[in-house]
Chain A
């Protein structure tokens, strides 16, 4: 186990190093000067531009800037925002992660809660109307972009029914769990819909395969109930792919909720990242990207470890 953890950590370090280098290079190649983004359309002189460039060390060579950043980053200092001067990247990540993390977690939980029974039902009733109906629903869910779902939810639950706020975010720390959930439920649902479809398709196909295994036949021969067979014997071996895709998608959601966060004005990582990209806030882009990459790798490492609990054969091997 210790060897595996060490290998994981080594892989994480290598991945993060590659991510930082690639991100730093790509961001530096982006057209657009951070100095212009900071000054906007305000009056300026060439001298003011140069002073600012020097102050931000943008006049230093690329390699030196990267090494300086890397040196600080390994000590936990990801730098300061170029645009929101005085705001640390680390502080922003700390502030935003709970928001995006909650959204991603809620979306995944909602998706799993719906997808697993739907997937099992589809597999158990393969080819019957229950299967075709749920498959068609999944196709629809996959086809509708999540921002369209979001717009629909806002129209129905905010504008027409007035049940939920249309935008922004109530933090649990300020306004309590109920108020928080009122702002979280619609963006989480918009994110969950696609995940539901993916998960249910996956569970269905895995379950169909599992249900054809000999041990399922043996269980049936023993006279066990269908429910017991499905949930006790078939679901567990059919969950490996689901666990994998949950891990991958959870990591992806951490950095990929840009559209939904923007639509609902949710102050999460994605919203911050897109603003940083638009304003050429290089260190903010760099910091958030590295964080998301790290989270992605760590989550998937945890999923790998989870395999051993789901399927004892992996642990033994």
Chain B
């Protein structure tokens, strides 16, 4: 059963969130090979790619065609396995961190965690290789006219690891747990979900409090999209963290926190490959958190583990240099950089923000971060591969321009009405803060040098541990602050980033009661908020694109934040492993998104002989 087809991700949907763990989009086209399941989503809202997928490559083609990828892009295309699949075998995977817990509603989950829980739980929706949302445990989903009600039909014949059958009532019973969940409660509120009802044996109706054309995007992430067994979850929520019950391809075997989480094959898994062979292929997977990047890479090179993930450019560089591993790279919307606290002087003045951004040499910063040739410079919250990427925004973004930057800052410094209360001609004070990561410190020093060279800026570099760093942003103690923006979810999932940051600003704009704790730069534009709200009230892609483009253009004009480069991620594996980027939609349908944001899908991985 040798399968080999190639596809290239062409367009991506979408989605972003502040400070998400590195995520990425890749480009390529779907080959649509295999038996495509007849369940194409009817979900609306931004799932259409901006352009049609490229021509389907020929079957058995070895190497993906280049073509539409952004210059310098290093994404690995989703591709069919190159070897005959085989059953059996145990592998170990090194993760950059431990999963806090294994409950989708209760425990925060980022890239390392998704590797684990993705084997235990199935999601209702998944992304195909074009980045479009497609049903997974669902068979179809559609909305009413105004996107306030979504009707989903579930796949029949699915059972949980404990033998309980998945029905519409299961999804309805999950909802109270999700409403009360530490993590999912906020997502429920953000999505506008107010009710879930079983309207048939396998038919579920989601009721929203307001229009949300991008609602299915929430069903593709853990908090609302991963299906758990609600009766068991309610009976013993604490035990569920270490002994979760899902419908996924693997069953939890053991969990030794900070050491190893082992999952074993689910013999009754509902999904099969294109030839009807039951999935998964592997007997077991042991996920091992190895926080040190160097040790994790050494662990793969020495055979201690068979694969690893990384969200660090330096590790990608080292793995490339070694040359002995299979590397699956991905670069999506998540973009590094920083933000100005616009509620504080002198960052309340756009001349300062824009001037300092003109004085940010992106290539040098990316070089300091170790990302040259790996990370693409950012100009917006979308990578050049994303369907939401705007050339207009890219052109509008303030580029490195020393004289231009000096002119703007100088204008502020010499303004008798300058907002920081200092005397005319006195330098502005800028505290530039990052977590104490060596590469971030190097990048900060690059920025500091240029800013200081202007003779207009006193730069103070500070470093705080990650939690303190985040807390300073939440409590508005920050000034110029390293940060990450966006991810590969639908932009609608991050509408609250554009909401008023304080009650006072909300009141001034007639938006009483709408206050967002996650608008970290504290920058508010009524037009942006209106555009974000409007974008979820329509499923017309062009309208939605225009809305998000207008927000990004406003950012380019008013510069509440600055960018370095998009975050590159990687899964590196022993070449004996295959099928890592070649997972399919159910029953061997279209290719899935691959290894976006180093979220490995281990369902179809096998060991080559």
Contacts and interface: CB of A to CB of B under 8 A. Distances in A.
Interface stretch (B41-49, B289-297, B598-606): B289-297
A41 B19 contact: yes
A40 B258 contact: no
Interface of A: 30-33, 36-46, 48-49, 52, 83-87, 92, 95, 151, 154-155, 158-159, 162, 165-169, 171, 262-267, 271-272, 275, 277-280
Contacts of B237: 86
B303 interface: yes
Q: Which of A37, A86, A87, A267 has the most CB of B within 10 A?
A: A86
17 contacts: A31-B464, A32-B468, A36-B467, A38-B182, A39-B108, A44-B185, A84-B257, A85-B101, A154-B302, A166-B298, A167-B288, A167-B305, A263-B295, A265-B290, A265-B295, A267-B257, A271-B258
Contacts, number: 149
Contact of B182 (A39, A41, A278, A280): A39
B137 interface: no
Contacts of A41: 17-20, 108, 470, 518
A43 B100 contact: no
A244 to B, nearest CB: 33
B241 interface: yes
A171 B260 CA distance: 11
A48 B258 contact: no
A42 B108 CA distance: 7
Contacts of A165: 299, 302, 304
A155 B258 CA distance: 23
Contact of A159 (B100, B288, B291, B302): B302
A83 B100 CA distance: 7
B69 interface: no
A280 B100 CA distance: 13
3 pairs of A and B residues whose beta carbons are closest in the complex: A86-B238, A43-B186, A40-B108
A87 B257 CA distance: 10
A84 B472 CA distance: 23
Contacts of B101: 84-86
Contacts of A265: 258-259, 288-292, 295
Given A154-B295, A265-B292, A278 B517 contact: no
A264 B295 contact: yes
Contact of B241 (A84, A151, A162, A171): A84
Given A45-B186, A262-B291, A279 B241 contact: no
A158 B302 contact: yes
Contact of B259 (A92, A154, A168, A278): A168
Contacts of A92: 257
Nearest to B299: A166
Nearest to A268: B258
Interface in B4-46: 17-20
B182 A85 contact: yes
Contacts of A158: 298-299, 302, 304
B110 interface: yes
B110 A87 contact: no
Interface centre among B100, B187, B239, B256 (most CB of A within 10 A): B100
Interface in B302-325: 302-305
B446 interface: no
Given A42-B223, A43-B518, A167 B296 contact: yes
B511 interface: no
A52 B467 contact: no
A224 B574 CA distance: 63
Contacts of A86: 101, 237-239, 241
Interface in B101-148: 101, 106-108, 110
B333 to A, nearest CB: 15
Contact of A278 (B108, B110, B257, B466): B466
Interface string B445-482: 00000000000000000001111101110110000000
Given A45-B189, A168-B290, 17 more contacts: A31-B471, A39-B182, A39-B183, A40-B110, A40-B183, A41-B17, A41-B20, A42-B108, A42-B186, A44-B185, A46-B515, A49-B517, A85-B241, A151-B295, A162-B303, A264-B295, A267-B258
Contacts of B470: 32, 36, 41
B280 interface: no
A48 B304 contact: no
Contact of B258 (A166, A275, A279): A275
B243 to A, nearest CB: 11
Contact of B304 (A168, A263, A267, A272): A168
Nearest to B302: A158
A266 B291 CA distance: 10
B189 A48 contact: yes
Contacts of A166: 295, 298-299, 302, 304
A36 B20 contact: no
A31 B472 contact: yes
B301 interface: yes
Contacts of B291: 262, 265
B299 A44 contact: no
Contacts of A266: 259
Interface string B272-296: 0000000000000000111110111
Contacts of B183: 39-40, 42
Interface string B165-202: 00000000000000000110111011000000000000
Nearest to B92: A168
B219 to A, nearest CB: 15
Contact of B518 (A44, A95, A167): A44
Contacts of A279: 467
A43 B474 contact: no
Which residue, of A36, A162, A266, A277, has the highest number of chain B Cβ atoms within 10 A?
A: A36
A32 B304 contact: no
From B241, B302, B517, name the one whose CB has the most chain A CB atoms within 10 angstroms. Answer: B302
A153 B298 CA distance: 11
A186 to B, nearest CB: 11
A46 B107 contact: no
A168 B292 CA distance: 11
Contacts of A46: 515, 517
A311 B298 CA distance: 49
B94 interface: yes
B595 interface: no
Nearest to A95: B257
A48 B185 contact: yes
A169 B299 CA distance: 13
A280 B467 contact: yes
A203 B130 CA distance: 69
Given A31-B464, A43-B187, A267-B258, A155 B298 contact: yes
Contacts of B189: 43, 45, 48
A48 B186 contact: yes
A129 B291 CA distance: 43
Contacts of B301: 159
A37 B186 CA distance: 15
Nearest to B189: A45
Given A33-B474, A84-B257, A167 B241 contact: no
A278 B435 CA distance: 12
A101 to B, nearest CB: 16
Contact of B299 (A167, A278, A280): A167
Q: Which of A44, A165, A271, A280 gathers the greatest number of chain B CB atoms within 10 Å?
A: A44
A23 B239 CA distance: 30
